[in-house]
Structure 1
Amino acid sequence: MSVVAPANDTLSSELPEYVLALARRLTDYLAPGQIERVMAAFRRGAEAHRGQTRASGEPYITHPVAVAAILADLRLDAETMIAAILHDALEDTAYTRASMIEEFGASVTELVEGVTKLDKVHFASQQEAQAESFRKMLMAMARDLRVILIKLADRLHNMRTLVAKDADSRRRIARETLEIYAPIAQRLGMSLIKSELQDLCFRALYPDRYRVIAERIRASHGNRHEAMGRIDNALSQRLAAEGIRARVVSRIKTPWSIYSKMRAEHKTLAEIMDVYGFRVITDSVAHCYQALGTAHGLYKPVDGRFRDFIAIPKANGYQSLHTVLFGPFNAPIEIQIRTEDMDAVAVRGVAAHWAYKTGVAPSGAQARAHEWIAGLADREAGTTSSLELLENVKVDLFPDEVYLFTPRGAILSLPRNATALDFAYAVHTDIGDHAVTARVDGHFAPLRTRLGSGQTVEIVTAPSAQPKPQWLEFVVSARARTAIRNYLKHLQHEDAVEFGHRMLDRELVARSVSLDTIPAAALETTLAEMRYKRLEELLSDIALGNRMAGAVAERFKLLAGGHTQTLLAAPHERLTISGAERGVLSFGNCCHPVPGDAIFGHLSAGKGIVVHRVECPNAAELRKQPERCLEIEWDREAQGDYRVELRIEVQNRPGVLATVAAAIAETGTNIENVEYSERDLATATLLFALEVRDRKHLADVMRRVRRASVVSGVYRYPV
């Protein structure tokens, strides 16, 4: 099919200024004949859209030209420019497919049709509808990557002009963009478009938060100008002295990136802003590593904060060296070091060094993008469920999240390494608070089980179940941690008040005094002097180790004056614990006490009472602070499950681990963890972490394990 050439017009005043501006951008990298074709597309598009206006009142043609201008900044080819200008013509005007093929060719027409199909995609709230939308987008991307580039530019301009929409539409479009298009831009390495989309969405969804952060960025830029200049000069001079050709550019965080970091790292705005960012751009990979050494010679590096994405690029083709240095102003300096080519890929991703010619194989970021899309297309061909395909796509788009299904088919996203308990709290706080166990893909699994994308999870609850402090050790989502902490804080206060009362009474008894003998006015005055509003606050602080019960009792004895009592319990009486006081008690990981063990308590400031076995390896050291040691004992009705560790010596042969685990399971004991601590050709030593009810239960487990033929010794660890 021959393509009809446009009239040989010069760029004249007949064209609007916004079109002339586009033409000037194109002259940087396109041949004159190609620019003429783009101008012909404008004339055709302007004629087709004549009389149509946008919500803002502007002529409609200004939108497709703006989309083309965004793509021109990415230096995309002439066919992409033409398709961008005509991308709404087939759908919204009388311009026909046949006419487009005749004037601009089949390739341009296929691009326009691909974008038109995506324009019909509406991301509904129903999972199946959203999944089918993903399928359509995937197929369009697989046919021609330029389709999604035009769609991203189209969405970016729509977001820039979103103010013309009503509030509900703004929020809907912004959320859809943040969940779908920004991650696609990131996966394609197009950080410039991704960052602007995220910021525009942030402004639309949370205008007040955006305003506060944006104002802080503007203010801090002025305040930090001198400091940034000094660091810039120091880096530039040192690099020049080393003979390294490089330019240093200061980096300013975007409002969305600051907001995301605040949420992810639980930091304040001031903490996030107190960081200096620079980018060092060199002329070769060798100079990148030399520049890294120079930077480390200028300022000390922060341990564990170096990443080499040059040797191991990210999935989207991004390459750079990342390091964090101790700055001269008591603030960290984040530095990225890369070549000019790497910088182009980091900013424009697949659009960097664009090559779209028949027979020319793509390279770098484009090759990775084509490989990723081809892999998704292969999965699409073998997938009958749109929901399954959606899960596959989202796993690739959101590498830091897992996507899980409820029994009813709803999709929940959680951080990577999330557990079944995180899932329970994601469903509802009450579900999490009363969770007992989980069914993962139909099989029972502990709440600490880590989940993978695509699994179906059901939570089993019980009215009597409640959060435990140990849960904080394995949950990863902010929602779960917050809910557990809130529950434990309330529980801790109640337990601490009750336990603190018992501790203070015990010390008062030793001094022949009771709270009842202290005048109310004197007690209230003393509490105010100690900065407590109520007696309960003081009692809680005693149990948490922030106040010594003996010192408080001495002060209260003075308040009682001559009002002493002689018929009180013996002062050496031990405090009893049932194990249910988990809000104020914890159990030493150095010795793992269980009911039936001889124990003592040690007051740890802010943590409360830590229970240790009398024969704990750390007992002698802890007893050097007698004022912090408590004489306690187990209540006869002590209940609950307690962690212990067993050191099991076995013959080193196949199946030994299964044999020992089976012996433990026969006693109805839960195994929390198992690992090899020592191993040679003949023997091995296993460390089992178990949950037992008491010392008798533990003895039953040890006795059962000793009977196994492969076992030569069983010992409680530590001995």
Structure 2
Amino acid sequence: MQYDDRLDDYLGKFSAEDADRVRAARSWAAELHAGSFRASGEPTVTHPERVAAILAGMGMDADSVIAGLLHQAIEDGVATGKAVGERFGERVGSLVDELSRMASLKAKNKTNQAAEAIRKMLFAMTRDLRVIIVKLADKLDNMRTIRWLPEEDRRRIAAECVDVFAPLADRLGISWMKDELEDLALKEINREAFDQIKLLVSAKKPEREAFLERAREDIQLAAKDEGLSVDVMSRAKHFYSIYQKMRKRAKGADELYDLSGIRVLVDEESQCYTALGIVHGLWKPLEGRFKDYIAMPKSNGYRSLHTTVMAYDGTLLEIQIRTRDMHNVAEYGVASHWLYKKGSSAEIVRPEDVSIVNRLKGWSAMLDEGSDFLEDIKREILKDSIIVFTPKGDAIELPAGSTPLDFAYAIHSDVGNRCLAAKTDGAIVSLDSELRNTQVVEIVTGANARPNVNWLKMVRTSKARAKIRSYLVADGSVIAIDKNVVARKRDERHEERGKAHPGDRKPELEVRHGEAKHTEPKKPEAPEAAIAQMDYRPYVPGEATDSSRAGVSVSGADNLMIRFAACCKPAVGERIVGYVSRGRGIIVHRASCKNLPAIPEFTERRVEVTWESAPSLTRRYHVTGRRVLDLFSEIENAVRKHGGRLVEGRLEDGLDTLSGFFTMAYPSAEDARTAERNLRHVPSILKIKRTD
């Protein structure tokens, strides 16, 4: 879609009746906004006209286009949804009402306001998908003209685009819109990187175009020799994807060579594989870089073959192969279902047929309001997802980074609560191992298995976390749980040490971390000192001791006899597994121990064991960052990449910035130094200082 597209250019795609309705809506919008101007000095009506042109260019129905023309009038209070409905029908009135409710929200701070607006937008989408498509078109035009706003507002809106709206466009399969939103946002978030990439792309344009033209001609000639009709086109990678590669590979833009690629379009699905054979006949494919999204489509409906080959002089060339119908879906996603269709039916696409909508509906009963909701949405729905399979072949979609426990709770809460062990592709794995795309996952359940506090650290999905919390509270072993900590009743050993007295007002608590979140404390007196640190204790392999002294936590049990296997001598911090022996308690082995397969009934007797506290290096920082919605997650992700973990942290919302103290734990000083360097390169962090 082009910035200068005009609505008139698309009216011929509508029936005569619908074209007249669109013209009438445009005339009314001009009347309603007469004498009103935008920050750029343009008449206000130019914005809704451009939004309508974007929607019409996407092939959206007349109702959506009319909603695009009139949404601003409702927001500005110069018209009502009822009046719109009377003129253009109940469905258009409903659309503009949903859009205006998002725009009219007010909250104590912009973070909560944005979170609640996005919450309403996403759940409105479960009723009518066109709401979000109109909102995305509105956001795109605002980003195209954002230069007229103050810098602080530009950065906030751009960050929101990267965090929410671009990923949402991606989840709906509207790739061209995702790409443009990300590029426009990058220009505001990191102008230096944007200009560097722009300069490099421009400087290498002649060289790149000659390279791609040569490749295009070779593919066409080879396809013609095989009797295959193909369209071959070059595609430049958008700036934000180049920027992400720079960050991921820690390279400058001038060190990246795969800045463009080739796309091959064919008529039939079977011809995609024929074309793939032709391409691999021309150039050697790079091992591990082939992906078949035709056999295994992405959750947004995207289907294509991806391969990377060693082309001329060893230069890497990325190639996508798909049918023309697949290409329409790849570019327009869910909106492609309206493309070239007449009428204004909201039922052309049913919300329940769209993956993201089904996941949102499943959440509605258990999500909190406010910014926590937004963090969950960004982590679980707007980020990448994986597809894994049950042994019967049923596909389960989960957020990237999910574990077997997340899978178990996605099947059913009873399966999760009785989970004893897990297998992926036939091999036993720990319950906190990260699942990979297309794996077959099997859950082994046990009658005596039950959730324990440590499970909260193993799961990634809010559904699994909520079910585990619910079980622990109902079981009575837990006094209170929130998103930061789990407070568990002390057992007799702790009471001996702490001597809790009947007259004490509050029960003594042992506090163990769940997943750190950006939350405000309910009581100001909640002290950092309440977080009890476990002691690290050495052990002797083969020597028996109880689990509390061994420094090992056994899933769902306390005070068990523990022996460390002499065959593999597990060291503190290594991945370990345990099994119930006959009369000798729990035997702990390295997870990689070669003797495990020979142990009788190992699968049935296997129990989850973890080191209660591995030795680690703790660092404390004061961080000041921009007021972006995802700063907390950015900090946590930067640390996790280098083996660290967030022990404790809190951000406070200031006038212009977010700031707060964070405590991080690292495996080593070198990991700490690497993570600190990584933190200093997070675009949203303005200043970071060690305080320990």
8 A contact 2:59–2:335 mirrored in 1: yes
| Aligned counterpart, 2:579 | 658
663 and 328 in structure 1: CA distance in 2 versus 1, 3 angstrom threshold? farther
| Aligned counterpart, 1:612 | none
| Aligned counterpart, 1:452 | 460
The reply to whether residue 222 of structure 1 matches residue 144 of structure 2 is no
1:189 aligned counterpart, secondary structure? coil
Query: How far 1:671 moved relative to its partner?
Result: 5.6
91 and 647 in structure 1: CA distance in 2 versus 1, 3 angstrom threshold? closer
2:87 aligned counterpart, secondary structure? helix
Query: How far 1:126 moved relative to its partner?
Result: 7.7
| Aligned counterpart, 1:79 | 63
| Aligned counterpart, 2:394 | none
Indicate which of 390, 397, 415 corresponds to 2:382: 397
| Aligned counterpart, 1:416 | 401
Query: How far 1:106 moved relative to its partner?
Result: 1.1
Indicate which of 232, 250, 254 corresponds to 1:266: 250
Distance 2:605 2:46 in 1: 72
Query: How far 1:684 moved relative to its partner?
Result: 10
Instruction: Please show how residues 325-336 of structure 1 align to structure 2 within 5 Å.
Output: 325-336=309-320
Alignment-mate amino acid for residue 646 of structure 1? C
| Aligned counterpart, 1:646 | 568
1:238 aligned counterpart, secondary structure? helix
Distance 2:348 2:451 in 1: 44
Instruction: Please show how residues 206-605 of structure 1 align to structure 2 within 5 Å.
Output: 206-274=190-258, 276-354=260-338, 362=348, 370-381=354-365, 383=367, 389-390=373-374, 393-394=377-378, 395-399=380-384, 416=401, 450-454=458-462, 456=483
101 and 360 in structure 1: CA distance in 2 versus 1, 3 angstrom threshold? closer
Distance 2:601 2:121 in 1: 59
| Aligned counterpart, 1:21 | 6
8 A contact 2:230–2:266 mirrored in 1: yes
155 and 293 in structure 1: CA distance in 2 versus 1, 3 angstrom threshold? same
8 A contact 2:578–2:589 mirrored in 1: no
1:658 aligned counterpart, secondary structure? strand
8 A contact 1:175–1:201 mirrored in 2: yes
When Rg is computed on C-alpha atoms for both structures, the one with the higher figure is: 1
Distance 2:593 2:204 in 1: 51
1:646 aligned counterpart, secondary structure? coil
8 A contact 2:569–2:589 mirrored in 1: no
Query: How far 1:378 moved relative to its partner?
Result: 4.0
Alignment-mate amino acid for residue 25 of structure 1? Y
Partner deviation per Cα, 1:409-441 (whole Å, 9 max, x = no partner): xxxxx98379xxxxxxxxxxxxxxxxxxx9xx9
| Aligned counterpart, 1:540 | none
Partner deviation per Cα, 1:461-499 (whole Å, 9 max, x = no partner): xxxxxxxxxxxxxxxxxxxxxxxxxxxxxxxxxxxxxxx
Partner deviation per Cα, 1:276-301 (whole Å, 9 max, x = no partner): 51100111101111101111111111
| Aligned counterpart, 2:683 | none
The reply to whether residue 57 of structure 1 matches residue 23 of structure 2 is no
The two structures have a TM-score, normalised by structure 2, of: 0.58
The two structures have a TM-score, normalised by structure 1, of: 0.56
391 and 56 in structure 1: CA distance in 2 versus 1, 3 angstrom threshold? closer
2:265 aligned counterpart, secondary structure? strand
Partner deviation per Cα, 1:569-612 (whole Å, 9 max, x = no partner): xxxxxxxxxxxxxxxxxxxxxxxx99xxxxxxxxxxxxxxxxxx
**Runs of 4+, deviation exceeding 6 Å:** 122-127, 356-360, 441-444, 680-692
Distance 1:643 1:682 in 2: 17
8 A contact 1:55–1:165 mirrored in 2: yes
Distance 2:247 2:333 in 1: 27
Count of paired positions: 453
| Aligned counterpart, 1:194 | 178
Give the % identical residues.
Answer: 34
| Aligned counterpart, 1:90 | 74
8 A contact 1:191–1:349 mirrored in 2: yes
Distance 1:670 1:680 in 2: 11
1:277 aligned counterpart, secondary structure? strand
The reply to whether residue 174 of structure 1 matches residue 158 of structure 2 is yes
Distance 1:459 1:451 in 2: 14
8 A contact 1:276–1:331 mirrored in 2: no
1:87 aligned counterpart, secondary structure? helix
357 and 647 in structure 1: CA distance in 2 versus 1, 3 angstrom threshold? farther
314 and 675 in structure 1: CA distance in 2 versus 1, 3 angstrom threshold? farther
120 and 240 in structure 1: CA distance in 2 versus 1, 3 angstrom threshold? farther
Distance 1:54 1:362 in 2: 35
| Aligned counterpart, 1:31 | 15
Instruction: Please show how residues 563-712 of structure 1 align to structure 2 within 5 Å.
Output: 645-646=567-568, 658-660=579-581, 663=584, 678-679=597-598
